[in-house]
Amino acid sequence: MARTRMGVARATAAAVALIMVGQQAVAAEPPQAETVLAETGASVTEAPIPWQVRLRALGVVTKDLGYVDTLPGSGLSYSDTVTPELDISYFFTDNIATELILGTTYANIAGQGTIGGLGNIGKVWLLPPTLTLQYHFTDLGAFKPYVGAGVNYTIFYNQDTGSADALKVKNTFGTALQVGFDYMVDQHWGLNFDVKKLFLKPDFDVTVAGAKLTGKAELDPWLIGAGVTYRF
pLDDT tens track for 116-142: 999 999 999 999 999 999 999 999 999
Compute the distance between CA of residue 138 and CA of residue 93 in angstroms, rounded to an integer: 11
- What pLDDT sits at residue 40? 45
Q: Identify the three-state secondary structure at position 115.
A: coil
More confident residue, 31 or 117: 117
Compute the distance between CA of residue 142 and CA of residue 76 in angstroms, rounded to an integer: 43
pLDDT at 179 over 80: yes
- What pLDDT sits at residue 57? 98
- What pLDDT sits at residue 150? 98
- What pLDDT sits at residue 141? 95
Q: Check: pTM over 0.75? Answer yes or no.
A: yes
Q: For residue 22, give the amino acid letter.
A: G
- What pLDDT sits at residue 108? 97
Nearest Cα residue to 213 out of 221, 203, 222? 203
- What pLDDT sits at residue 22? 42
Query: What share of the chain in percent tops pLDDT 90?
Result: 79
Question: Binning pLDDT at 50, 70 and 90, where does residue 47 land?
Answer: low
- What pLDDT sits at residue 144? 97
Compute the distance between CA of residue 87 and CA of residue 48 in angstroms, rounded to an integer: 19
Nearest Cα residue to 124 out of 25, 20, 205? 205
End-to-end Cα spacing for the chain? 76
Compute the distance between CA of residue 86 and CA of residue 136 in angstroms, rounded to an integer: 19
CA distances from 64 to 81, 169, 216 (A): 13, 15, 11
Average pLDDT on 23-27 reads 42
pLDDT at 11 over 90: no
What proportions of the chain, in percent to the nearest 5, are helix, strand and coil?
20, 55, 25
CA distances from 212 to 83, 164, 172 (A): 33, 10, 21
Choice among 42-51, 64-73, 220-229 with the minimum mean pLDDT = 42-51
Compute the distance between CA of residue 134 and CA of residue 124 in angstroms, rounded to an integer: 30
pLDDT at 3 over 90: no
More confident residue, 15 or 157: 157
DSSP 8-state code for residue 165: S
Compute the distance between CA of residue 76 and CA of residue 43 in angstroms, rounded to an integer: 60
Give one DSSP letter per residue of 125-188, joined into a string.
EEE--EEEEEEE--SSTTEEEEEEEEEEEEEEEEEEESSSSEEEEPPEEEEEEEEEEEEESSSS
Compute the distance between CA of residue 38 and CA of residue 46 in angstroms, rounded to an integer: 13
